[in-house]
Amino acid sequence: MCTCGNKTKQPGRPAAGWGEHLFAWAWSHATTPLEKAYGRIKNELFAGLDGEVVEIGPGAGINFRHYPANVHVRCIEPNPFMHPYLQEAAGSAGVSMSLDGGHAEEMDVPDSSVDAVVSTLVLCSVNRPEVVLGEIRRVLKPGGRFMFIEHVAAPRGSWTRRAQDWIQPVWKKVGDGCNPNRETGPLLQAAGFSKVEIQERRIKTPLVIVAPHIIGVATK
């Protein structure tokens, strides 16, 4: 089922255009390296999912192949050029999906209504991560889980962190708003979840600058 929204412009960002079109195309063709880096992690993290799941920023639907059969996924994807890829990926994976063109900062999802929220490589790109985390808590049922895989800032003073800080202005422009030096871990710890489990890991990617990651689960 497709229930596309019409919110194609995020506050502080231009309307969808050639850049988002190009980004959607590139992301849809990145399946092989992304699966090599993250596939096993996703299988382990998503194994216990069931019921109603919201995925924010699902991109081209690369996570669908890792979802159990008993979930319905509501995708919050503001880039309209991603939508055809999402629909194709859902069909190929046999995933029950609905599609919303809104934004994670203001989800059109009722309070305390979903069993889980999923975010993979998304919190680096949103304009207001604190607001997004508040929305995630709002829509989760009591005891619901937020599952995340995010590349994050390297420790301050490290060579990688200096490189992240230096390249950030250009990286953000070419990466659809991505911030390589975002300190997402502390934001999660301060977001008001009852329990936050975070594993820090360096993941082998083609770009060392985004090797530092956090993986985990935050429970409402």
Q: What is the pLDDT of residue 17?
A: 59
pLDDT of residue 36: 80
**Exposed / middle / buried, residue 132 (Cβ in 10 Å: 0-12, 13-18, 19+):** buried
Helix, strand, coil percentages (3-state) for the chain, rounded to 5, are: 35, 25, 40
161 within 8 A of 154, measured Cβ to Cβ? yes
pLDDT the model gives residue 1:
29
Backbone angles phi, psi at 202, to 5 degrees: -95, 120
Strand order in the sheet with 212-219: 96-100, 71-76, 51-56, 114-120, 140-151, 212-219, 195-202
What are the structural domain ranges in the chain?
18-219
The label of the residue with tokens 């089922």 reads 1
Task: Answer yes or no: CATH 3.40.50.150 is held by domain 18-219.
Answer: yes
Q: Which of 2-11, 192-201, 206-215 has the lowest mean pLDDT?
A: 2-11
In this structure, are strands 114-120 and 96-100 parallel, antiparallel, or unpaired? unpaired
Mean pLDDT of 16-21: 52
Band of pLDDT at residue 208, cut at 50, 70 and 90: confident
pLDDT tens, residue by residue, 79-112:
888 898 899 999 999 999 999 988 999 999 999 9
Percentage with pLDDT > 90 across the chain:
72
Q: What is the pTM of this model?
A: 0.86
